[in-house]
Amino acid sequence: MNATAAQPKPALTQDEAFARIRLLRSANIGPVSYAQLLRRFGSATQALDALPDLAKRGAKRDYRPAPVERVEREIAAARKASARYVFHDMPDYPALLAQMENAPPIITVRGDMALANKPCVAMVGARNASAAAIKLARDFARELGEGGFTVVSGLARGVDGACHEGSMPSTIGVIASGIDIAYPPQHAKLQEQIASDALLIAEEAPGTEPRGQHFPKRNRIIAGLAAGTLVVEAAKKSGSLITARLAGEAGREVMAIPGSPLEARSHGCNHLIREGAVLVQDPQDVIELLSGFDGVPRSSFRETAPAYDFMPDDMSEADPADVQGLLTTAPVPVDELIRQSGESAGAVQMALLELEIAGKLVRHAGGKVSLA
Largest CA distance in the chain: 59
283-293 pLDDT, tens per residue?
999 999 999 78
Q: Looking at the predicted structure, is the pLDDT value of residue 190 above 60? A: yes
Q: Is residue 31 part of a domain?
A: no
Q: Is residue 224 part of a domain?
A: yes
User: Which residues have a Cβ under 8 Å from the Cβ of 334 and sit 6 or more positions away?
Assistant: 306, 308, 310, 348, 349, 352, 367, 368, 369
Residues 279 and 181 in one domain: yes
Q: Looking at the predicted structure, is the pLDDT value of residue 328 above 80? A: yes
147-186 pLDDT, tens per residue?
999 999 999 999 999 999 999 999 999 999 999 999 999 9
**Domain count of the fold of the chain:** 2
The model carries a pTM of 0.90
User: Which residues have a Cβ under 8 Å from the Cβ of 323 and sit 6 or more positions away?
Assistant: 337, 341, 343, 348, 351, 352
pLDDT above 70 covers a percentage of the chain that reads: 92
> Considering the chain, what is the average pLDDT of its residues?
91
Q: Looking at the predicted structure, is the pLDDT value of residue 274 above 90? A: yes
Parallel, antiparallel, or unpaired for β 171-175 and 150-153? Answer: parallel
User: Which residues have a Cβ under 8 Å from the Cβ of 46 and sit 6 or more positions away?
Assistant: none
Name which residue leads in pLDDT, 166 or 302: 166
Residues 284 and 344 in one domain: no
The average pLDDT across 226-243 equals: 93
Compute CA 66 distance to the chain's CA centroid, rounded to the nearest angstrom. Answer: 22
Could you give the 3-state DSSP secondary structure of residue 173? strand
The pLDDT of residue 309 is 57
**Domain housing 324:** 313-371
Instruction: Report the CATH number that the domain containing residue 317 is assigned in CATH.
Output: 1.10.10.10
Rounded distance, CA 363 to CA 356, Å? 8
Phi/psi of residue 60, nearest 5 degrees? -120, 115
The pLDDT of residue 85 is 98
Q: Is residue 20 part of a domain?
A: no
Q: Is residue 318 part of a domain?
A: yes
